[in-house]
Amino acid sequence: MARDTQGTQGTQSQESSIWTLVESQPMEKIVWGRLYGKNIKIKSLGTSSKYRIIYTPSSFSVDLNNDEFSAGRGEANDLILTLNDLSEKILTRISKVHFTIKRANCDLASPVYIKDHSRNGTFVNNEKIGMNKMRILKNDDVISLSHPTHKAFVFKDLSPNESIGLPEEITKTYYINRKLGSGAYGLVRLVYDTRTCQQFAMKIVKKNMLSGGSRPSTNLSDPERVLNEAKIMKNLSHPCVVRMHDIVDKPDAVYMVLEFMRGGDLLNRIISKKLLTEETSKLYFYQMCHAVKYLHDRGITHRDLKPDNVLLETNDEDTLLKVSDFGLSKFVQKDSVMRTLCGTPLYVAPEVLITGGREAYTRKVDIWSLGVVLFTCLSGTLPFSDEYGSSAAEQIKKGKFAYRHPAWKGVSQRAKLLINQMLIVDPAKRPSIDDVLQCSWLRDAAMLQKAKQLMKIESMDIEEENNFLEPPTKRSRR
Ligand code: 3AM
């Protein structure tokens, strides 16, 4: 039996024992930020304050080590502003609580928020926050009270500075937070728009890191190609296509500020669940198809469709999904051909491998990749792999695959039929995205209803597809 700290046994729960222990040994408080006085001299402290003031002949600083810090005229503030500190003219414009600064759980990994509680305003770097509004406070931000010229404090963020080396265009607008992940191209970071506090994912594509390769599939260095991604993405607007909010192009890297997708990517989802149910696979696949249709209707071929490039909005099973990464895409006119060899092996269409990029290939490459993605969702395995005897490339060129995994026993024939069609080697015989959207497997009222809600659309093609749901009118027998 666990022994409690007071030496009694049995009567007290283990939980309360731990509590006593924690209480008797308070944790050292983390100082997560500091306010330096600027121009105005502030001497007084709130009676209940735990803040340490460091005086120097010309300035002082306050350590921030609680979740929330408040400043204003009122006695309850951590920092009380009085006539000793400010001229009467300024003090009359100071509110009881003028502003508060917060860092959730004093966690250095969280952003710092400043909230304006005053009618006359709290200003950050000369910009008014606005009554009852918040913004993110960054290192070296200057706080003014009631007027931009009444500069009172400079804020020092004591968390590691993640914005070193980033261009000013980015750091002046965004607060740079934790790493979300990384890929072949570079890093993805969580960032916040300091004014709106909105979260985004910033993708940093290093141009030099992508240089080199003589093989076209690895030659991603081409700045034009990076910019191509940007140009295409900025002009796209569809619920299932990742929105690009901002882009900064620099000689060494491109910084893309994208919609933040907190659910992570489809690859991780499949890996964590081993495989997806047919119901979920269908819901995800349907949304991917809508994204691809949107792109194809605009003459855009994605060319790099794979689960890593499909992002999920939430961690819920039924979630909105968005297709990302158009770095390998290219605008093509209808009926024109694409000659660039790109795309990732395993998801790449046979015509790309067969011709080695020397011949033309079309948007049907996306249909093939979608077929592979669907196969992967439903079974958690790849249809083509070097582990199956011959090389994956050989299997792809022959369109040779099998439903080996036991999970396939529980998958409908309609789903398999669709995969068979999407993985036809001859692109001319492979269905178009419209054909795929019309397939019998996707005529599923419950799924369509869910998708419609997630995609928040009333009148898209879904309506047309719903027509399938009408029971066929029975012909009266004569
Ligand atoms: O490294 P992992 O696989 O954990 O989910 C994406 C991947 O995570 C994440 O960054 C990594 C490299 O692509 N990611 C990419 N774009 C994102 C976005 N818009 C994103 N996470 C959230 N929102």
Within this chain, do residues 218 and 311 fall inside the same structural domain, yes or no?
yes
DSSP 8-class letter at 159: S
DSSP 8-class letter at 338: B
Measured from the CA of 268, which atom of ligand 1 is nearest? Answer: 3
Q: Is 379 helix (H, G, I), strand (E, B) or coil?
A: helix
Amino acid at 280: T
Q: pLDDT for 244-301, tens place per residue?
A: 898 888 888 888 899 999 999 999 999 999 999 999 999 999 999 999 999 999 888 8
> Does 215 score more than 60 pLDDT?
no
- Cβ–ligand 1 contact at 242 (below 6 Å): yes
d(CA 373, CA 343): 14
Within this chain, do residues 43 and 95 fall inside the same structural domain, yes or no?
yes
The crossing angle, in degrees rounded to 10, of helices 413-422 and 278-297 is 30
Q: What are phi and psi of 436, to 5 degrees?
A: -60, -45
Within this chain, do residues 216 and 323 fall inside the same structural domain, yes or no?
yes
468, two tokens: 């399938």
CA-nearest residue for atom 10, ligand 1, is 181
- Cβ–ligand 1 contact at 268 (below 6 Å): yes
Q: pLDDT for 300-330, tens place per residue?
A: 888 889 999 999 999 999 999 999 986 544 4
DSSP 8-class letter at 435: H
Of 97, 125, 157, the position where a domain reaches its end is: 157
CB 255 within 8 A of CB 247: yes
85, two tokens: 């500190």
Q: How many domains does the chain have?
A: 2
d(CA 353, CA 356): 5
Does any domain span residue 453? no
Within this chain, do residues 149 and 241 fall inside the same structural domain, yes or no?
no
324, two tokens: 């990302």
- What stretch of H or E contains 115? strand 112-116
Most confident region among 102-111, 176-185, 240-249 by mean pLDDT:
102-111
Q: Looking at residue 458, what is its pLDDT?
A: 65
Q: pLDDT for 113-149, tens place per residue?
A: 999 999 999 999 999 999 999 999 999 999 999 999 9
Does any domain span residue 289? yes
Amino acid at 194: T
Does any domain span residue 476? no
Does any domain span residue 462? no
186 burial via Cβ count (<10 Å: 0-12, 13-18, 19+): middle
Q: For 431, what's the count of Cα atoms within 13 Å in the CB-facing half-sphere?
A: 18
Output the average pLDDT for the chain: 81
The CATH number of residue 61's host domain is 2.60.200.20
Q: For 64, what's the count of Cα atoms within 13 Å in the CB-facing half-sphere?
A: 29
> Does 333 score more than 80 pLDDT?
no
CB 272 within 8 A of CB 312: no
> Does 214 score more than 50 pLDDT?
no
> Does 25 score more than 50 pLDDT?
no
Within this chain, do residues 311 and 437 fall inside the same structural domain, yes or no?
yes
Within this chain, do residues 191 and 137 fall inside the same structural domain, yes or no?
no
Confidence of residue 222 (pLDDT cuts 50, 70, 90): low
Within this chain, do residues 209 and 328 fall inside the same structural domain, yes or no?
yes
Within this chain, do residues 402 and 353 fall inside the same structural domain, yes or no?
yes
Of 133, 157, 181, the position where a domain reaches its end is: 157
With a CB cutoff of 8 Å and minimum separation 6, the contacts of 326 are 228, 229, 232, 233, 236, 300, 302, 304
What residues act catalytically? 304
> Based on C-alpha coordinates, what's the Rg of the chain?
29
Bridge partners, 199 (sequence order): 192
Q: Looking at residue 58, what is its pLDDT?
A: 53
Of 136, 157, 178, the position where a domain reaches its end is: 157
> Does 7 score more than 60 pLDDT?
no
> How large is the average pLDDT for residues 422-437?
97
Within this chain, do residues 312 and 414 fall inside the same structural domain, yes or no?
yes
d(CA 101, CA 128): 15
Distance 141 CA to ligand 1 centre (A): 29
The CATH number of residue 255's host domain is 1.10.510.10
Does any domain span residue 267? yes
In terms of pLDDT, which residue wins out, 64 or 52? 64
Q: Looking at residue 226, what is its pLDDT?
A: 59
Angle at 380 between CA 374 and CA 382, to 5 degrees: 70
Residue-range definition of the domain harbouring residue 152: 8-157
DSSP 8-class letter at 265: B
Q: Looking at residue 87, what is its pLDDT?
A: 75
Measured from the CA of 261, which atom of ligand 1 is nearest? Answer: 23
- Cβ–ligand 1 contact at 188 (below 6 Å): yes
**Ligand 1 pocket, mutate which of 174, 178, 180, 304 (most atoms under 8 A from CB):** 180
CB atoms within 10 A of CB 255: 22
In terms of pLDDT, which residue wins out, 205 or 112? 112
CA-nearest residue for atom 1, ligand 1, is 181
CA-nearest residue for atom 19, ligand 1, is 260
How many residues does this entry show for the chain? Answer: 478
> Does 474 score more than 60 pLDDT?
no
- Cβ–ligand 1 contact at 92 (below 6 Å): no
172 is in an annotated binding site: no
CB 239 within 8 A of CB 457: yes
Within this chain, do residues 130 and 279 fall inside the same structural domain, yes or no?
no
> How large is the average pLDDT for residues 189-203?
96
Q: Looking at residue 468, what is its pLDDT?
A: 39
Bridge partners, 29 (sequence order): none
> Does 453 score more than 50 pLDDT?
yes
Does any domain span residue 364? yes
Q: Looking at residue 361, what is its pLDDT?
A: 73
Within this chain, do residues 38 and 108 fall inside the same structural domain, yes or no?
yes
